Amino acid sequence: MSGSMWIFAVVSLVLFCCAVGLMVSHHRSWRLTRENESDEAELDFRRRQYRRRMQTSAMMGLLVASTFFGQFITGPPVLMVGFWAGVLLLVVWIALLAGADYLATRYHLSRLRHDYIIEEARLHAEVRRIRSVQGNGRHGRRLTKKRKPDAEADDDQKPE
């Protein structure tokens, strides 16, 4: 193998290891989500996200392996064109999955943000309602002892 071939092999190996590392990371994340998440809608979103990301990472590993081994194909031109067309199809599928993941995550986060805004408005309305009933602490029931009028306070003091 020539010098550039070794470099290509090392880069391919590093990229393949990155793809495997991503798959391990996605699996750990999914396992933690399953153990800790109780909301069914959130769990469903995370399940679909896990499938998309695992599929994308696995195909990235396959793409790296294909490009590495593709350089050794010296068969008929039809075989080479078919092989590289398959690799190109893999790249397109990865791009489509990445785009779908981006859009799904963006939609999910905007839905969560909308839900939080609604919940915040509901809580602010509840606080305003409670303050209006209690008079914001100014006119409502006092929680501290009433002070004695100044005349009574002077009588309670002991002369020295």
Q: What is the pLDDT of residues 89-116, one digit of tens each?
A: 999 999 999 999 999 999 999 999 999 9
List of E strands, the chain: none
Average pLDDT, the chain: 86
3: confidence class by pLDDT, cuts 50, 70, 90: confident
Q: Is the pLDDT of residue 152 over 60?
A: no
Domain that holds residue 64: 3-136
In a domain, 112, yes or no: yes
C-alpha dist (Å) from residue 111 to 39, 45, 117: 14, 12, 10
- For residue 19, the tally of other CB atoms under 10 A from its CB is 19
In a domain, 156, yes or no: no
In a domain, 96, yes or no: yes
In a domain, 155, yes or no: no
SS3 content of the chain, % helix, strand, coil (to 5): 85, 0, 15
Q: Is the pLDDT of residue 143 over 90?
A: no
Q: Is the pLDDT of residue 4 over 70?
A: yes
| CA angle at 95 for the pair 92 and 101, rounded to the nearest 5° | 145
Contacts of 34 (CB under 8 A, 6+ apart): 43
Mean pLDDT of 2-23: 91
The one-letter code for the residue type at 136 is N
Q: Is the pLDDT of residue 27 over 90?
A: yes
- State the total domains in the chain: 1
73: confidence class by pLDDT, cuts 50, 70, 90: confident
**Separation of alpha carbons 52 and 104, rounded Å:** 10
Q: Is the pLDDT of residue 53 over 90?
A: yes
In a domain, 42, yes or no: yes
pLDDT for the residue numbered 75: 84
pLDDT for the residue numbered 160: 46
Residue 131, token pair as written in the block: 């303050």
Residue 19, token pair as written in the block: 């793809």
- Report percent pLDDT > 90 for the chain: 69
In a domain, 22, yes or no: yes
Mean pLDDT of 22-41: 93
Lowest-pLDDT choice from 55-64, 65-74, 111-120, 148-157 = 148-157
Residue 160, token pair as written in the block: 């020295």
In a domain, 144, yes or no: no
